[in-house]
Amino acid sequence: MKIPMGVANSVSYNMDYDPVDTLSYAVQSDFDIIQIYINHEMLEKKKDLETLSTNIRNLSKADIYFHAEDAFNEAFTKSKYRESFFSYLNEFTRPRVIYHFDESEELDTILKIVDHLSNENQHIYLENYFQFSGRILAEKNLRKFTAVFSLANNAGVRIRPVIDIPRFYQSKIGFSEEEALNWCFQLLNFFGNRDLPIILHLIDTQTREQDRSGFCPLGEGSIPYETIFDFILKNKVGLEGIIFEYLDKVNPLKSRENLKHLFGMV
């Protein structure tokens, strides 16, 4: 089972998240995907953006995903950030763009934004995200998250899912390990049944707080990845790719090896 794997520019944490440093690392390490988080500060550095664009165009392989800083809400559509961000994205043909889901936005408004952005020159990806603490609010969040995909895709507007597995296991959410695993299964099954290939955002950790000091390679921490990938493989859930969101360059390499050897991915 061949699944593209890649890294976010978080791996260049010690280089102030420099995306050009990430590109170099990803190419040297033979990763298939590179995710670049475009924040407000980056958009103000025009020369750095030009350098980044040049390096992206010179890539012989590897797919680029851009990650927006601002959440997927009405305020974003009217912001200066959106204007600058989209101006930069227009340099690329149908860029892949990941947005954080905003649980505080009204469902109807989210659908209007989806419809509006579907006319932009981009592929839209929506990632599960929890702004608030507590199990009850998290469950409400996830029901709204899946409703967006059901309603949008039923209306013929295609958006693509990103599932951040570690978020289900954050201490602030309050899920038990069993509840977190069940929600992972529900989302994987939901998108799998709709033939919507998933991007997975992954790290592993030895602590529920998920602070940097507890990060470890996939399969060596507290998140039950063996069970999760067993479910994915048995149920033939489609994966578009896996992106490691570590803050270093060692854990992604070991995680890739663990996925290959422990879970049968080549």
Average pLDDT over residues 193-207: 95
Q: How many CB atoms lie within 10 A of CB 128?
A: 22
Q: How many CB atoms lie within 10 A of CB 77?
A: 15
Amino acid identity of residue 255, one-letter, is: S
Residue 88 DSSP class = H
Q: Which CATH architecture has domain 5-164+198-203+240-262?
A: Alpha-Beta Barrel (3.20)
Domain residues of the chain, as ranges? 5-164+198-203+240-262
Write down the pLDDT at residue 1.
66
Residue 228 in contact with residue 192, Cβ under 8 Å?
no
The percentage of the chain sitting over the pLDDT mark of 70, rounded to a whole number, equals: 98
> For residue range 202-233, what is the model confidence (pLDDT) as tens digits?
999 998 778 888 899 999 999 999 999 999 99
Residue 266 has pLDDT above 60, yes or no: no
